[in-house]
Structure 1
Amino acid sequence: MTGFTPPPAFTTRPQLVGTFGMAASTDATATATAQAVLERGGNAFDAVVAGGFVLHVVEPHLNGPGGDLVGIFHAEGADGPTVLMGQGPAPAGATIAHYRAEGLDLVPGAGGLAAAVPGAVDAWLVLLRDHGTWELGDVLAYAIGYARDGHPLLAQAAATIARVSGLFRDHWPTSADLWMPEGEVPAPGAMVRNPAYAAVLDRLVAAGAGAADRRARIDAGRAEWKTGLVATASTAFLAQPHRHSTGADHAAVLTADDFAAFDAGYERPVTAGFRGHTVAKAGSWSQGPALLEALRILDGFTDDRLDPQTPAGAHTIVETLKLALADRDAYLGDGAPVDALLDEAYISGRRAQIGGTASHQWRPGAVPGRTPFHPPLRAEGGVAAGTGEPTVAPTGQTRGDTCHIDVVDRWGNIVAVTPSGGWLQSSPAIPELGFCLGTRLQMMWLDDAAPTALRPGARPRTTLTPTLVLKDGLPLFAMGTPGGDQQEQWQLPMLLRMLAGGYTAQQAIDAPTLHTTALVDSFWPRTWTPAGVVAEDRLGADVIDGLRARGHDVTRTGDWALGRLSAVGISREDGTVWAAANPRGMQGYAAGR
């Protein structure tokens, strides 16, 4: 390949290659669980579901059963990729009028008013029912064991508890009881247990005891989740006024009927071509189409303009992202059409808007027949930080965040899932359940003109956005990352390096990266930073100085701060499978053989 900085001669860890099966995730225990399932004869779907439930237990500051997920997969023999839709909608009582009457101009970043209908658990069970092979009890046994018997608390989880310990003590006593059982923040590495959540999972398994077959047993577990203790206990508990991120007390509007009405399911992905490959993403209820738009814009440049480790390449990538993310906020939302944003004439017009200096304007494109929504551009700094929203500070430190897991098996099944929400800091813990509900509604505007306006039954436009890449109709690799608004931004350089620069996945994950903050934050308090760029120091002085010379406001963030990527893939040359994982944070791992 030409036009790219050569890939690093050494990586922090090998890219694993084998013939049996591979797993990669943001947590070593979840990866080990998924690989253990493969070793016992399970397929990729059995493995990813087992690993996903373990993530609820071992990374409770990054996701929970009260949250949501987006997955994308290709089953062996299928005629194309499929999106797993695990994003619950706004409850029936979640109207703009109600929230305005509560004195709000934004959906809060924490507290029960921000809770969408939880979608993650139902989505995991639907995937297991339709594409897995194992019984529900066998899949859940790993998570039940860790919840009941204990696991070492991650340092990042302990730090999260410490950040919200005052809130727990003063306003969320049930969360203090669960996460600070001795009245103090537990130390990193302390053994922590969650018997209440173990009992919830036991109930899901027991619900199917008398069912006729595996499918019916899993559906019985789904019914228990949606109509049993979880639905009744969580909605009754959060109906009591409690502290929100705004500093005021409110009652949630989520009801047991909202739980019962939701079904996770499948959708066809949106796709776009790049350098002879097909990239598949979830639809307009996610930010996935923004990545596709960015790739389409960049596909018109020569390779030397796509390298993040050159001043021209970094500038081009950042300016492209700013355009695509402006279109995200102006046009994307549940049910919104996306074809116009990927149309060749539209893409060519957007490409022509990339000049030689940094734009300081928020610039959505002009789509025929549609009026772009203009969200309020709130400068960062005037509003207090939210409680646990999964944003990334200029230092690269996350507040909240997300998980990710990928699995590929020897039969050719490949899947990537990004679960999130229901972080331990989202809302008060429900004592009978051992977890809290999520806050995804904070991505919806209290403005009817917005494509993401708060409306009963509408899905918030989630930032969760795994990726599947295909060649000639066959899957090559699946990938994803935590990071909120940075998810597409961290995936884009990896894709460019792999598909245009010839890097392996591990080389692309290890390589230094960057992102822009010149976007409307998806999370409360919804701020915007014109011309902001955050860059790892390893990009080098030439690149960082070159960005500044072009008018970008660059924050240097250390050598290893940005990106939480992982991936698995299939080599079409020899049939081997591979996996790669992120070294940053010392928690992500790949395993396989």
Structure 2
Amino acid sequence: MAASTHWMATGAAQSVLERGGNAFDAAAAAGFVLHVVEPHLNGPGGDMVAIIAPVQRDVPEIVVGQGPAPRGASIEAFAAMGMTEAPAAGALAAAVPAAVESWLSILEEHGTWELADVLVYAIDYARNGIPCSPKLAGVIETMAPHFREHWPTSAAVWLTDGVPSEGDLIRNPAYAAVLEQLAETAAAESRVAGIRRARDLWRGPIAESIAAFVATPHRHSDGIDRAGVITARDFAELTVPREAPLVRKFRGVDVVKAGFWSSGPVLLQALGILDVVGESGSIDPSTVEGIHNITEAMKLAMADRDAYYGDAYGVPEFVRDHLLSPEYCADRARLITGEASAGFRPGAVPGHRPFIPPAATPDRTGSIGTGEPTVARNGETRGDTCHVDVVDRWGNFVSATPSGGWLQSSPAIPGLGFCLGTRLQMTWLDPAAPSALMPGRRPRTTLSPTMLMADGAPVVALGTPGGDQQDQWQLLYLLRTVVGGYAPQEAIDAPMFHTTAVTSSFWPRVRSERGLVVEDRVGSDVVDGLRERGHDVTVSSGWSLGRLSMVGRDPSNGMLCGAANPRGGLGYAAGR
């Protein structure tokens, strides 16, 4: 079973499974296809965080595909350039790309197919074309003047025949050539040795081409032409480590997430808070009281994220254990009242001072290409990251969230057909911040896949794009399926909502203290009730929030299931 944010990626994954490949072969094939079919939402120059569960392992493992800041990216270096915050577009915003390395490392360790066979789907689509979606056409149209004036190498990739319209074929022969080169390099050796040679090619000649190009000044989000600082050495030193996951039991299900360098623990904290709230109040996402309590719990968990999460100094074990402890969650739950809270309210961790992030006003706007292409404050979906879930006949699971390196991030590298990402915009140029910019350290990422286990076996892989909304929308899925008894597709289809009373991880870093965005299908009575409780409610169109997908397996009989997002008409689940 495979499910993803784009039907062509799902189709590639399912084809691999039908032809005998395992979940890791299938997920990697889908991942490279996503680079081609959703280039406005992810790319080879971006990031990828995954949870994988090989059947021979007792516990799932986290694939840490969030690259670090380059050696030349530091608070002091950026300050010397006159910068007071990390840029939101241009090569200075780029972490070391880890998406391609992550997929190749998964294939090397757990795949069964030759690299050329995995890449053939993406090569074909890049070489022969994919139908342009409405969102992709809109992004290219928006960026076209910027490409022509400031990023001509991007114009050479995306404006070869002018601005494309919906349904036009989009080709990327330069990226097809890169993939063909990787495949040909790998074919000269055995399967594992070939993948290692492909990785050497990526971090060698390809990395040198990237570093040489971005060293030339180009337009950044602040309107100034600046050179990037990423080097071939940064690529050569990149590792994609594996980590043990964080796990919280919720109503009999073990919820598996990445560590405090991600936003994953937010979901675990919110579940801990709501487990207490649910003893006396509603946590039903369809009621006024339930939406209110869920929103307030998420605001508390997100405040802790901004105050304590990060990789800049590492999160001490004591802090991690304290934030996830039942006692702490119970204390946080007692802060929830019948009224919408205002203000930034992180909890107290003994011996640690919370970081209080400055937040811009909600009306702050950015220049072209800035921020993450995610859900706007008014609920309009502009696009976002990608996601893919796979489970195979043997019970191997993958939940992966690729992102970054979208076509509006920075100029396309000549001859390669892709650009770098913008993950450093999530860092602060303040050494007191737990997510401060520091060479060699990972920025705190929003990428947050999820896996569920029961009786020691994985049973569900799920996730969604959406920046700071990822764990908010996944929380609703869990409450509806684990507590409410919804079927997976029913839970994905149900009205979604999220709070904007969190410090945005992306430029312009806004925070709306009582902000709440809901799909209009919740009903006018619910909207009125939320406003009576003090929430600043923005009503979005009925099918606009959330892009979840999932796959599942019943360990007792091997039966598989899958579900995907209907919003936007591109998500798809397939299997047999």
TM-score by length of 1: 0.94
State the SS of the aligned residue for 2:437.
coil
Partner of 2:262: 286
TM-align CA RMSD: 1.2
Residue of structure 2 aligned with 1:64, choices 33, 40, 43: 43
Q: Which residue identity lines up with residue 319 of structure 1 in the other structure?
A: E
Residue of structure 1 aligned with 2:53, choices 70, 74, 96: 74
Superposed displacement of residue 330, structure 1: 0.5
Q: In the alignment, does 2:134 pair up with 1:155?
A: yes
Q: Check whether the contact 2:143–2:368 (CA below 8 A) recurs between aligned residues.
A: no
State the SS of the aligned residue for 1:469.
strand
Residue of structure 2 aligned with 1:145, choices 81, 106, 124: 124
State the SS of the aligned residue for 1:449.
coil
State the SS of the aligned residue for 2:64.
strand
Superposed displacement of residue 101, structure 1: 1.6
Residue of structure 2 aligned with 1:254, choices 230, 252, 261: 230
Q: Structure 2, unaligned stretches of length 5 or more? A: none
Partner of 1:421: 404
Partner of 1:14: none
Once residues 546 and 399 of structure 1 are traced to their aligned partners in structure 2, the CA distance between those partners, rounded to angstroms, is: 28
Q: Which moved more, 1:301-310 or 1:116-125?
A: 301-310
Q: Which residue identity lines up with residue 146 of structure 2 in the other structure?
A: L
Partner of 1:191: 169
Once residues 398 and 537 of structure 1 are traced to their aligned partners in structure 2, the CA distance between those partners, rounded to angstroms, is: 14
Q: Which moved more, 1:240-249 or 1:281-290?
A: 240-249
Q: Check whether the contact 2:257–2:448 (CA below 8 A) recurs between aligned residues.
A: yes
Once residues 495 and 371 of structure 2 are traced to their aligned partners in structure 1, the CA distance between those partners, rounded to angstroms, is: 25
Once residues 368 and 165 of structure 2 are traced to their aligned partners in structure 1, the CA distance between those partners, rounded to angstroms, is: 24
Residue of structure 2 aligned with 1:339, choices 295, 308, 321: 321
Q: Structure 1, unaligned stretches of length 5 or more? A: 1-21
* Matching of residues 112-151 of structure 1 within 5 Å: 112-151=91-130
Residue of structure 1 aligned with 2:438, choices 438, 449, 455: 455
Q: Check whether the contact 1:394–1:557 (CA below 8 A) recurs between aligned residues.
A: no
Once residues 386 and 88 of structure 1 are traced to their aligned partners in structure 2, the CA distance between those partners, rounded to angstroms, is: 24
Q: Which residue identity lines up with residue 199 of structure 2 in the other structure?
A: R
State the SS of the aligned residue for 1:568.
strand
Once residues 200 and 122 of structure 2 are traced to their aligned partners in structure 1, the CA distance between those partners, rounded to angstroms, is: 20
Q: Which residue identity lines up with residue 371 of structure 2 in the other structure?
A: E
State the SS of the aligned residue for 1:527.
coil
Q: Check whether the contact 2:3–2:571 (CA below 8 A) recurs between aligned residues.
A: yes
1:249-277 Cα shifts (integer Å, max 9, x gaps): 11111001001100213111111111111
Identity %: 58
Superposed displacement of residue 116, structure 1: 0.4
Partner of 1:4: none
Once residues 385 and 111 of structure 1 are traced to their aligned partners in structure 2, the CA distance between those partners, rounded to angstroms, is: 12
CA pair 235-129 structure 1, distance change in 2 beyond 3 A = same
* Matching of residues 502-521 of structure 1 within 5 Å: 502-521=485-504
Once residues 573 and 209 of structure 1 are traced to their aligned partners in structure 2, the CA distance between those partners, rounded to angstroms, is: 40
Once residues 77 and 153 of structure 1 are traced to their aligned partners in structure 2, the CA distance between those partners, rounded to angstroms, is: 40
Q: Which residue identity lines up with residue 322 of structure 1 in the other structure?
A: K
CA pair 386-573 structure 1, distance change in 2 beyond 3 A = farther
* Matching of residues 457-536 of structure 1 within 5 Å: 457-536=440-519
1:483-523 Cα shifts (integer Å, max 9, x gaps): 00110111111110011111111010000010000010000
Residue of structure 2 aligned with 1:167, choices 146, 161, 173: 146
Partner of 1:201: 179
Once residues 555 and 238 of structure 2 are traced to their aligned partners in structure 1, the CA distance between those partners, rounded to angstroms, is: 39
Once residues 108 and 234 of structure 2 are traced to their aligned partners in structure 1, the CA distance between those partners, rounded to angstroms, is: 22
Superposed displacement of residue 235, structure 1: 0.9
Q: In the alignment, does 2:66 pair up with 1:84?
A: no
State the SS of the aligned residue for 2:550.
strand
Residue of structure 1 aligned with 2:241, choices 265, 268, 283: 265
1:521-569 Cα shifts (integer Å, max 9, x gaps): 0001111111000000111122211110110000000111100000000
Q: Which moved more, 1:393-402 or 1:324-333?
A: 393-402
State the SS of the aligned residue for 1:392.
coil
Q: Check whether the contact 1:56–1:63 (CA below 8 A) recurs between aligned residues.
A: yes
Superposed displacement of residue 575, structure 1: 2.0
1:176-196 Cα shifts (integer Å, max 9, x gaps): 1110113x2111111121111
Partner of 1:8: none
Once residues 404 and 444 of structure 1 are traced to their aligned partners in structure 2, the CA distance between those partners, rounded to angstroms, is: 23
How many residues matched?
569
Partner of 2:547: 564
Partner of 2:203: 226
Q: Check whether the contact 2:137–2:165 (CA below 8 A) recurs between aligned residues.
A: yes
CA pair 130-151 structure 1, distance change in 2 beyond 3 A = same
CA pair 525-551 structure 1, distance change in 2 beyond 3 A = same
Once residues 308 and 98 of structure 2 are traced to their aligned partners in structure 1, the CA distance between those partners, rounded to angstroms, is: 24
Partner of 2:361: 379
Superposed displacement of residue 227, structure 1: 1.0
Q: Check whether the contact 1:468–1:479 (CA below 8 A) recurs between aligned residues.
A: yes
Residue of structure 1 aligned with 2:338, choices 356, 359, 377: 356
TM-score by length of 2: 0.97
Once residues 209 and 146 of structure 1 are traced to their aligned partners in structure 2, the CA distance between those partners, rounded to angstroms, is: 21
